[in-house]
Amino acid sequence: MIDCFAERPGVPRSEVTRWLPLPGGAPANVACAISKLGDRADFVGAVGSDHWGDALMQLLTDMGVGHRGVQRRLKAPTRQVLYTTSQTDSLSSALGHSHHTFAGFSESDPTVFADAHLFADGLEDDLFIGADFLVLGTVAMAYSDTRQSVEKALSLAKANQLSILVDVNWQPMFWPNPAEAPGRVYDLLKQVHYLKVSDDEAEWLFGTHSPQAIAQQFPHLKGVLVMAEAQGCTYCFRQISGHVPEFKVDVEEITGAGDAFTAGFIHRLMQKGPGCLKDANIVREIVTYASAVGALTTTRPGAIAALPSPKEVEVFLYLN
């Protein structure tokens, strides 16, 4: 999708004369971050047959992300998400999550966009052969077509023994009926191995932000990561639990930091191998690495443009 930010702060949507478009969408951010860190990533989703869809396809190409799994919709446009800004200082500050407000979509009906119509029969089975991870958000569960695609993807992931990670990334504005979300998210979580959730999302879904308590509700989970703004990550991997505080950096923009964290976690876990999760020191090192990737992403504007290279992460961790 395309995130569009009002260039003039402090004005309502009806008075915005110019929007700054930036490529967005959490799973695409994760795919680009994983590619930047040196791993192979493929993105599966749907975009319109419009100039925004062309731009997103070019971005995936530029970032080295495979896009055989991208479907192009002829009649459904690429989703544009509009945000007004509340800061009176620089635009870069206004782009941070703390400073902008959702102002609607480019169309009034959230179901008309291409990303709501990813067709299951268009998923290519061979994309899942030889893969290690399937990464999902929960927005896809809001729409019938895309929900069926998620169900097929889960089936293919299980058949090919992929690890499955879900980042809840709760976005009620995407849901035609938000009241349906908890049940659908719960059903999804019954089929995954790793869960990443914010502390607010954890309270909403599980009535607790303790990763140990969440793991007790879903004993099949291999790992639970709970992110708290300005506090870092608390985690539980079966019998191993701990907390990694947030790195202190000069923040330019926080968009995409959580997605970068997810990519850093997956990248480091694949390097170490799943057996490493029995070692408390290695688990902490993996979460610390992921936190560094997320922190570095906040030091530059743009969710994808700000993603760090492996060398930058290495140097950052050495200096910190």
Residue 200 buriedness (CB in 10 A; 0-12 / 13-18 / 19+): middle
SS3 211: helix
Q: Which two tokens stand for residue 17?
A: 């004369």
List Cα–Cα distances, 242 to 105, 190, 193, 237, in angstroms.
Answer: 39, 24, 18, 9
What percent of the chain has pLDDT above 70? Answer: 96
Asked if residue 90 has pLDDT above 90, the reply is: no
Measured in whole angstroms, the distance separating CA 300 from the mean position of its chain's CA atoms is 18
Mean pLDDT confidence for 236-251: 94
Asked if residue 302 has pLDDT above 80, the reply is: no
pLDDT of 263: 97
Single-letter amino acid code for the residue at 11: V
Phi-psi region of 39 (alpha: psi -120 to 50; beta: other; left: phi over 0): beta
Q: How long a stretch of residues is the chain?
A: 320
Which CATH number is correct for 2-319, 3.30.450.20, 3.40.1190.20, 2.30.30.90, 3.30.420.40? Answer: 3.40.1190.20
pLDDT band for position 224 (50/70/90)? very high
Of 318 and 302, more confident? 318
Nearest of 235, 231, 226 to residue 247 by alpha carbon: 231
pLDDT of 95: 42
Nearest of 172, 170, 17 to residue 84 by alpha carbon: 17
What percent of the chain has pLDDT above 90? Answer: 83
Asked if residue 93 has pLDDT above 70, the reply is: no
Asked if residue 271 has pLDDT above 90, the reply is: yes
pLDDT in tens, 94-145: 344 446 789 999 999 999 999 999 999 999 999 999 999 999 999 999 999 9
Q: How far apart are CA 75 and CA 117, in angstroms?
A: 11
Q: How far apart are CA 290 and CA 35, in angstroms?
A: 15
Asked if residue 89 has pLDDT above 50, the reply is: no
pLDDT band for position 10 (50/70/90)? confident
Single-letter amino acid code for the residue at 89: D
pLDDT of 87: 58
Region of poorest pLDDT, from 37-51, 86-100, 261-275, 305-319: 86-100
Measured in whole angstroms, the distance separating CA 240 from the mean position of its chain's CA atoms is 25
pLDDT band for position 251 (50/70/90)? confident
pLDDT of 91: 45
- Residue-range domain boundaries for the chain: 2-319
E-strand ranges in 189-262 read: 194-198, 223-228, 232-237, 240-244
Nearest of 67, 56, 62 to residue 23 by alpha carbon: 56
